[in-house]
Amino acid sequence: MNIKEEIMAVGLPEHIAIIMDGNGRWAQQKGLDRIYGHQQGINTVKKVVEASGEIGLKYLTLYTFSIENWNRPQAEVNALMGLMADAIVRETPELMRQKVRVRVIGHTTDLPAGVWQKMDGLIRATAENTGVTLILALSYGSRWEILEAAKKLAEDYRSGRISDLDAMTENSLAGYLTTAGIPDPDLLIRTSGECRLSNFLLWQCAYTEFYFVDKFWPDIEKDDLYLAIRNFQNRERRFGKTGEQVKNEMKS
């Protein structure tokens, strides 16, 4: 039995989030321009999305472009936006074939109008697809997201749409986030050997399992995703309870 068959036999996480790190450094180590690494990174995205569909994953979130990434050299930002626009057009037929449903989270008004027009068209085109839901975090930052949620909550209270703040729950606040209606990630994977969240899904990852890969994103293969899932399947998720409590609940 291969790794793919092993993980499918045990049961999959519902939602995996990935910080796709190391494109630029991968290229620089090879003496190439950073943008070449981003081009190769798109190929890895295709492999991981395809692998996710093959195993029946329900949700896959990719940290595609952070709010902080706007601070990179303008030439690199422009090249990234161009790559994104080209990839949307080029990959739409394949995403439709795989029945991938695309969603976007983030401060999308920051995106160039042409890029967002193409992305919005992709979202609409795939809206009825029933395969893996691919969530692209674009111009995304978790602190921005939480601040925006707080502003919306305050406005609802001011306008009278909310009258009792004591009745608010964690689920209530989660409904104001850009990920409303999406289950929290069970597993977060970060490539390139870095071990930090980088302002990604801070609220949603309260009890997410982390898995760090010492490989740059362009070097990631399908089996790397499968290995991360197998590692996840061997962990005991306690959510604040004792291991004994968890085992007893599994028996009942």
- With vertex at residue 140, the alpha carbon angle to CA 139 and CA 143, rounded to the nearest 5 degrees, is 135
- For residues 197 and 6, what is the distance between their CA atoms, to the nearest angstrom? 29
Q: What would the DSSP string read from start to end of 186-243?
A: SEEEE-TT-----SSSTTTTTTPEEEE-SS-GGG--HHHHHHHHHHHHTS---TTS-H
Catalytic residue among 21, 23, 186, 224: 21
- For residues 252 and 245, what is the distance between their CA atoms, to the nearest angstrom? 11
Q: Supply 201's token pair.
A: 């899904």
Residue 224 designated active-site: no
Closest CA to 66 of 80, 82, 50, 52: 80
Residue 113, CA distances (Å) to 75, 96, 120 in order: 18, 23, 10
Residue 69 designated active-site: yes
Q: In the chain, how long is the greatest CA-to-CA distance?
A: 60
Q: Which residues are catalytic?
A: 21, 69
